A and B are shown apart, each in its own frame.
Chain A
Amino acid sequence: MMRLARIALGVSVALVLAYLMLPLLIIAPISFSGARFLSFPPPSFSLRWYQEFFGNPAWMQATRVSLSVGLSTVVLATPLGVAAAYAIANARNRLMRAVHVALMLPLLVPIIILAIGVFFVYAKLGLVATLPGLVLANVMLGLPYVVISVVAGLQTFDRTQEMVARSLGMNRLRSFMAVTLPQIKASVVAGAIFAFISAMDETIIALFVSGGQYQTLTKRMFTALRDEIDPTIAAISSLLTAASFVLVLLAMRGRQRAAASSD
């Protein structure tokens, strides 16, 4: 009876995971397809979509825009989010609980409402189709991820360690940097990665707010799909996925090396 239940569980988990993986598995092959429309299995092999992407200045510009927005978002959202998460984890009063909920708002408010609202505020301030405007909007979207991740990481962190460091004479900031931060590094990195991915993949606000020469990759992909539905987007997506993998691997390798060298 237990055996049967366990097999049933294993099968259902495998099936659900297969369902999750299925669309991802066909994207890379389609990116190498020789056919002009999206078809699977691809009838022939071709690199033209990658060539199409790299050879097109508009795509390259959009990639630069997206990457700068993504990086700037992480650079801004991470410290802001870590500080806020630290505050939330340490102060348990009603005010901080309200702050906690407020910081989750970008996840809860339907994105189309955020997009329209931000667009019109930006229109008044002249921030439409500008890089700072894009970055700020993505910082707003990325903050919840950093906060959620770091708050969770601080749960398992023993605060007395920090108090010990402070009692030994370190000021607050130094004790945070020396004692707390190294131990919650994994959560900070996880939050930062999610903030980065969210900025890279963000489509709806970009549709309203980016424009002119500061168009993001996602906006270009969206408008390109209205012009031609072809495997270029599969190529772009495969490249981004591969790049993210490399990033994460580098980050993990860096952590391992840091852990090894600190022994």
Chain B
Amino acid sequence: MLRLPDPSRRHRRREQALMFLLAAPALAVILALVVLPVGWLMGQSFTDGGLTLAHYRRIFGEDIYWRSFAQTFRIAGIVTVLALVLGYPVAYAASQLRRPWNVLILALVVLPFWTSVLVRAYAWLVLLQRTGVVNQALDRLGLVDEPLALIHNELGTIIATVHILLPFMIIPLTATMQNIPTDLLRAGASLGGSPLHLFLRIFLPLSVPGILAGSTLVFVLTLGFYITPELLGGGKVTMVSMLVSRNVELYNQWGAASAVGVVLLVGVLAIFAIVARAIPLDRILGQQ
């Protein structure tokens, strides 16, 4: 092995320092507006006049917090599974088709981003109400006697949340699938494998990083959802972020809200820690 001369190592060190300097301004923004505030939040959660565990004791003691966390995680799980089931075929098509089809599909997937989340939520209201578009259509087709309760409950919340987060599943999946070499599949076919066999044994396993990336993203984003369950849940859905803001309203200091927020944050970090064992964190976030 070559022994590198000293100047080269110095050069490398200088290079690394330069790279860090380039990233420093962006990092400074993150430190000031994410790390500092969240750190403050954590500090507040242990404060109530003096240092205390009172807020945490209340969270782990009172029923409503358990229930809310349970409901939040359950909804996040359902949303993730649905997004995966619905998103996988679309990602597959987008990654395998030629122009212009793949561009068209991706354009349609990204299109909802151009519309405000608030307005999308209200559009779902119009669609899913008792007297809404879907129920009107079902009624006219004679498929139901009574309008279905599609909104102001968990179901409506899930439908709208999947809608909003589906792109976050499809895009990482597509990116991963695009990198699956087609000659692998062709080689498998030439060896006599059936299409189903090829898919299950070769394609699906190779798409797992994308599945993990998309699922993690969708799951974590659902955990933090606030507007959609507030508007479409009818009071029957209390996700943790809603609890955080209710605590801000009800309790005198920020400590109560901060404690709920910290528990949520720890949950999110735990998920990332677990997933990061399967694939490194920066691969989830885009680096190949």
**A-B complex is real:** yes
A positions within 8 Å CB-CB of B: 1-2, 5, 9-10, 12-13, 16-17, 19-24, 26-27, 30, 38-40, 80-81, 83-84, 86-88, 90-91, 93, 95-97, 99-114, 116-118, 120-121, 136-137, 139-140, 143-144, 147-148, 151-152, 155, 172, 194, 197, 201, 203-204, 218, 221-222, 225, 229, 233-234, 236-237, 240-241, 244-245
Q: Are A117 and B40 in contact (CB under 8 A)?
A: yes
Interface residues of B in 109-138 (CB under 8 A from A): 109, 111-120, 122-127, 132-133
Which single member of B21, B29, B124, B288 contacts A136 (CB below 8 Å)?
A: B29
Q: Are A103 and B105 in contact (CB under 8 A)?
A: no
A17-B108, A91-B20, A148-B286 known; 13 new pairs, CB 8 Å cut-off, are A16-B86, A20-B166, A87-B19, A88-B19, A96-B20, A102-B35, A107-B217, A109-B224, A116-B37, A118-B33, A136-B29, A172-B18, A204-B227
Cβ-based interface call for B41 (8 A): yes
Do A116 and B254 contact each other (CB < 8 Å), given the known contacts A39-B126, A108-B272?
yes
Which single member of A23, A40, A87, A107 contacts B20 (CB below 8 Å)?
A: A87
Which single member of A86, A99, A194, A201 contacts B27 (CB below 8 Å)?
A: A99
B positions within 8 Å CB-CB of A: 15-16, 18-23, 25-27, 29-38, 40-41, 44, 86-87, 89-90, 92-93, 105, 108-109, 111-120, 122-127, 132-133, 163, 166-167, 175, 195-196, 217, 220, 223-224, 226-227, 240-241, 244-245, 248, 254, 257-258, 261, 264-265, 268, 272, 280-282, 285-288
Q: Are B118 and A120 in contact (CB under 8 A)?
A: no
- What is the CA–CA distance of A112 and B260 in the complex, to the nearest angstrom? 11
The 5 closest A-B pairs by CB, nearest first: A117-B37, A110-B224, A23-B123, A91-B19, A84-B26
In the complex, chain B residues whose CB is within 8 Å of the CB of A121: 33, 36-37, 40
Q: Are B40 and A120 in contact (CB under 8 A)?
A: yes
Q: Are B41 and A116 in contact (CB under 8 A)?
A: yes
In the complex, chain B residues whose CB is within 8 Å of the CB of A241: 114-115
In the complex, chain B residues whose CB is within 8 Å of the CB of A9: 89, 92-93
Give the Cβ gap from B171 to chain A, nearest Cβ, in Å: 10
Smallest CB-CB separation from A100: which chain B residue? B282
Which single member of A105, A197, A245 contacts B34 (CB below 8 Å)?
A: A105
In the complex, chain A residues whose CB is within 8 Å of the CB of B244: 112-113, 116
Do A88 and B118 contact each other (CB < 8 Å), given the known contacts A16-B86, A26-B126, A155-B288?
no
